[in-house]
């Protein structure tokens, strides 16, 4: 082993090399604040729709919500985080702060059809969570609807109606429960306070 002066020189050289490696790595990877998002909203929506459609079957079979984050890489590609498994009515979406990734939207399913849940519209928690996080969200329902939570407009907008995504085989449409084309926070609150609709 090295001793005395030689040991100090070796350890100093190793420390300098380590600092150079770390500094170069930091400057070679753009962080979310280091690049301009280049992907159009229409591309994000198409990507989210495709991912959610693929997640639906598992969500129905396991009777759980599934969620992920859609992001743009530093090279301009769209991707999504690993799908997280929630429970029957929630999914804990963990945000990330990874170098070279700019989060663009949250995506999640509403699990399997259950007549005891108002799962054909985004929940108030869905809407408020995306507004607070300042990120758009996309929600797939058991009836195959796709919703976009527009955090800037602070409302959920129906992107496509019943059956546009994969549908839970157990799903039953409810003509007595009309679905509006958009909901604000007060409108979702009012919907939650009304009597449960029997179909």
pLDDT of residue 82 exceeding 70, the answer is yes
Which pTM was predicted?
A: 0.80
pLDDT of residue 34 exceeding 60, the answer is no
Domain that holds residue 52: 35-193
Q: Could you give the CA distance from residue 76 to residue 179 in angstroms, rounded to a whole number?
A: 36
Q: Is residue 77 domain-shared with residue 151, that is, in the same domain?
A: yes
Q: Is residue 14 domain-shared with residue 49, that is, in the same domain?
A: no
Banded model confidence at residue 13, pLDDT cuts 50, 70, 90: low
Q: Is residue 199 a part of any domain in this protein?
A: no
Percent of the chain scored above 70 by pLDDT? 78
Q: Is residue 77 domain-shared with residue 17, that is, in the same domain?
A: no
Q: Is residue 161 domain-shared with residue 68, that is, in the same domain?
A: yes
Q: Is residue 10 domain-shared with residue 71, that is, in the same domain?
A: no
Encode pLDDT of 47-60 as tens digits: 999 999 999 999 99
Count of alpha carbons within 13 angstroms of residue 45, beta-carbon side = 12
Percent of the chain scored above 90 by pLDDT? 60
Q: Is residue 57 a part of any domain in this protein?
A: yes
Q: Say how many C-beta atoms besides its own lie within 10 A of residue 23's C-beta.
A: 10
The single-letter DSSP state of residue 63 is T
Q: Could you give the CA distance from residue 66 to residue 57 in angstroms, rounded to a whole number?
A: 11
Q: Is residue 110 a part of any domain in this protein?
A: yes
Q: Is residue 17 domain-shared with residue 51, that is, in the same domain?
A: no
Chain mean pLDDT for the chain: 85
Banded model confidence at residue 75, pLDDT cuts 50, 70, 90: confident
Residue 9's pLDDT is 62
Q: Is residue 94 domain-shared with residue 20, that is, in the same domain?
A: no
Q: Is residue 21 domain-shared with residue 56, that is, in the same domain?
A: no
How many domains does the chain fold into? 2
Dmax over Cα atoms in the chain, in whole Å?
85
The DSSP result for 82-144, as a single string, is PPEE--SS---------TTEEEEEEEEE--S--TTS-TTS--HHHHHHHHHHT-EEEEE-TTS
The residues near 167 (Cβ < 8 Å, ≥ 6 apart) are 56, 142, 143, 144
**Mean pLDDT, to the nearest integer, of 86-107?**
75
Torsion angle of C-alpha atoms 123, 124, 125, 129, degrees rounded to 10: 110
């Amino acid at each position: 082993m090295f001793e005395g002066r030689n040991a100090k020189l070796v350890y100093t050289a190793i420390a300098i090399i380590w600092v150079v490696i770390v500094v170069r790595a930091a400057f070679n990877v753009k962080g979310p604040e280091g690049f301009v998002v280049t992907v159009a909203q229409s591309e994000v929506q198409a990507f989210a729709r495709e991912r959610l459609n693929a997640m639906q079957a598992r969500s129905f079979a396991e009777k759980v919500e599934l969620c992920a984050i859609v992001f743009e890489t530093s090279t301009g590609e769209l991707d999504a985080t690993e799908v997280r498994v929630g429970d029957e009515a929630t999914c804990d979406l963990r945000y990330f702060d990874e170098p070279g990734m700019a989060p663009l939207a949250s995506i999640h399913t509403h699990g399997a059809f259950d007549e005891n849940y108002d799962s054909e519209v985004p929940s108030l928690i869905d809407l408020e969570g995306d507004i607070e996080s300042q990120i758009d969200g996309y929600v797939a329902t058991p009836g195959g609807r796709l919703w976009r939570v527009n955090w800037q407009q602070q409302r959920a907008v129906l992107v496509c109606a019943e059956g546009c995504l994969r549908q839970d085989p157990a799903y039953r449409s409810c003509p007595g429960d009309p679905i509006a084309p958009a909901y604000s926070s007060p409108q979702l609150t009012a919907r939650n306070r009304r009597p449960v609709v029997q179909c």
